[in-house]
Amino acid sequence: MKRIFEFGGDVFELAGDSALYWPSQKVLLVSDLHLEKASAYAAGGQMLPPYDSLATIQALAALSQIFLPARIICLGDNFHDCGGERRLGGDAADILSGLIRSTEWIWITGNHDPILEGRWGGSSVTDLKLDDILLRHEAKAGESMPEISGHFHPKFRQMLRGRMVSRRCFVKSDRKLIMPAFGALTGGLDVLDNAIISACDLLQSEIAEALVPVRNGLARFPISKSIALAK
């Protein structure tokens, strides 16, 4: 079953649990890859398994084989820091290079990687307008145009059978769509956190919902300022 929804006057399909396919534009959208996060932590003395970049890029390559996009657009925090491009190597670099050769690849810069060298190809921009929808890393409060962004790594949390279940999710209002982090080694922010409530302009009483990918479809949970304040 296809997991589709409408936003900004167009139709989108969930790709896996953390990406979007935009059929009319033949675009695969991902956000917050945070490539080379483990190596960044290792440089600071905190040792983590060094497989995050490979897992992330393999997952993206698998989606590319399914959806066959003409373009892949990454919505910022592509690398965990500005040195991540230079540290990336091995199979992860080989797979990424192959993906970039086979598609039109666009990096949107984020707060973790404000400057990209273009070491692996593709083009780099601070934001992008496709059709009537803006693409950027972090939602801009008061933006009147429909906007797709990342940055907050939203997660939906709910008690289920006595235990807290946490899932990556998308947050959608009339004019905002915030994507979850795609990276294998990324945390998340509760959808009721004030930062997400503010980013979705819920302080101006706009209604939003959490879109949670499930095996056979898409679960929708309402979010509002009143729910957030009662948290």
**Residue 109 predicted with pLDDT over 80:** yes
Q: What is the 3-state secondary structure (H, E, C) of the chain?
A: CCCEEEECCEEEEEECCCEEEEHHHCEEEECCCCECHHHHHHHCCCCCCCCHHHHHHHHHHHHHHHHCCCEEEEECCCECCCCHHHHCCHHHHHHHHHHHHHCEEEEECCCCCCCCCCCCCCEEECEEEECCEEEECCCCCCCCCCEEECCCCEEEEEEECCEEEEEECEEEECCEEECCCCCCCCCCEECCCHHHHHHCCHHHCCCEEEEEEECCEEEEEEECHHHHHCC
Mean pLDDT of 195-207: 73
Residue among 146, 198, 205 nearest 177 (CA): 146
pLDDT category of residue 141 using cuts at 50, 70 and 90:
confident
Sign of the Cα pseudo-torsion (96, 12, 178, 49, in order): negative
Q: pLDDT value at position 159?
A: 62
**Residue 144 predicted with pLDDT over 70:** yes
**Residue 228 predicted with pLDDT over 60:** no
**Residue 229 predicted with pLDDT over 50:** no
**pLDDT tens digit sequence for 8-42:** 999 999 999 999 999 999 999 999 999 999 886 66
Mean pLDDT of 146-160: 89
**pLDDT tens digit sequence for 208-218:** 899 999 888 89
pTM to 2 decimals?
A: 0.92
Which residue has better confidence, 222 or 206? 222
Q: pLDDT value at position 184?
A: 92
Mean pLDDT of 80-101: 93
In this structure, what token pair is assigned to residue 141?
């409060």
**Residue 1 predicted with pLDDT over 60:** no
**Residue 230 predicted with pLDDT over 50:** no
Mean pLDDT of 182-206: 82
Which range in 113-117, 141-145, 168-172 is most confidently predicted, on average pLDDT? 168-172
Mean pLDDT, the chain, whole residue set:
88
Distance CA 180, CA 42 (A): 25
